[in-house]
A = this chain, B = another copy of it.
Amino acid sequence: MAEGRPARLHSTATYVCTAWGPVSPPVDRRSDRPIYRQIADELRRQIRSGELPPGAKLPTENELIERYGAARLTTRQAVELLKAEGLVDAVRGRGVFVRRQPPIVRLGSERFSRWRRQANQAGFFADTAAAGTRPEIEVHVSRRAASPELAERMGLPRRSQVLVRERRYLADGIPMQLATSYVPLDVVEAAPGIGKPNSGPGGIYMRMEEAGHPIVRFVERITTRMPTQEEAASLQLGAGTPVLQVQRTTYGEADKVIEIADMVRAGDRYELAYDIPGD
């Protein structure tokens, strides 16, 4: 395309300004900064400044090629950079678009209060109710021998059997988090509801407290990292979207570990809040 014609600035522009030079800042080919980074810098600036608001369409590859006089791969490298930064999404056949920020769910530590559990205001259903979204939970329950690491974390003898609850949580059909919980079998025997896919109103914490395993405290450990390929697919994460990894330990009386929960949450859809006493 455009063979034999002089490079133009915008495929839809009038010719008036083409005689005066580029409208978009041209690349400086003598600069140490690679051309693809210069192009990315300019697009990034336009996104940050709001010239290209969320949902806006970036120039097509052919437009970038004409605008900056670069090869196709060079313009693609620029867009790849923005994709890795989580700023844009490419859709084959349509174009490249500035990413829209999804609504953020705020999880406060107050949602662990006993009052909430007893009022059936705890857990994912309450989280979605607060956000006005439709909850959906995929559950798989099994029993298996704990790995040495897991047994260590739970204070159990090696190779102890544990109940395993694997879940995927969705709000309005959008995957929010993956979670795997492990519960010692003596706790499950005291509160059989825990072993069912649907653990009933108030969730497994309510079942535990009904069965004489009051919850004394939780500890949550938080890290972040890029998702594995499997996590990115299961959570439908865009490129350049990290995950929050939350590892929760639930303690009953006498510091007994009554649950371990390993969670992987979509990093662009959650905000976690914690209260810390001043003394």
Residues from 256 to 278 in A contacting B, C-beta threshold 8 Å: 267-268, 270-278
How many whole Å from A204's CB to the nearest CB in chain B? Answer: 14
Chain A 224-263 residues near chain B, CB threshold 8 A: 224-226, 229, 239-244, 251
Please count how many residues in chain A sit with their CB below 8 Å of the partner chain's CB atoms: 45
Number of copies: 2
Bitwise interface map of A from 51 to 76 toward B, beta carbon under 8 Å scored 1, else 0: 00000000000000000000001000
A93 to B161, CA, bound (A): 51
Q: Which residues of B contact A222 (CB under 8 A)?
A: 222, 244, 271-274
List residues of chain B with CB within 8 A of the CB of A215: 278
Instruction: Report the nearest B residue to A222, measured CB to CB.
Output: B272
CB of A93, distance to nearest CB on chain B (Å): 17
Q: How far is the CB of A252 from chain B (nearest CB, A)?
A: 8
Q: Quote the shortest CB–CB distance from A127 to chain B (angstroms).
A: 15
A229: chain B residues at CB < 8 Å are 44
Contact between A114 and B279, CB atoms less than 8 A apart: yes
Complex CA–CA separation, A268 to B224 (angstroms): 7
Q: A273: which of B44, B113, B220, B243 is its contact (CB, 8 Å)?
A: B220
Best-surrounded residue of A219, A222, A243 (most CB of chain B within 10 A): A222
- Say whether A174 faces chain B, with CB atoms less than 8 Å apart: no
Q: Which residue of B lies closest to A80 (CB)?
A: B80
| B276 with A217: CB separation less than 8 A | yes
Verify A109–B274 contact, CB threshold 8 A. Answer: yes
B216 touches A276 (CB 8 A): no
Chain B residues closer than 8 Å to A268, beta-carbon distance:
225
Question: Could you list some 28 contacts between A and B, CB below 8 A?
Answer: A44-B229, A73-B73, A80-B80, A84-B226, A84-B240, A85-B226, A109-B274, A109-B276, A112-B278, A113-B279, A216-B277, A217-B276, A217-B277, A217-B278, A218-B275, A218-B278, A219-B273, A220-B274, A220-B276, A222-B274, A223-B267, A224-B224, A224-B243, A224-B244, A224-B267, A225-B267, A226-B242, A251-B278
With A85-B226, A86-B226 known, 8 other A-B pairs at CB within 8 A are A217-B276, A219-B273, A219-B275, A221-B272, A222-B244, A222-B274, A223-B270, A223-B272
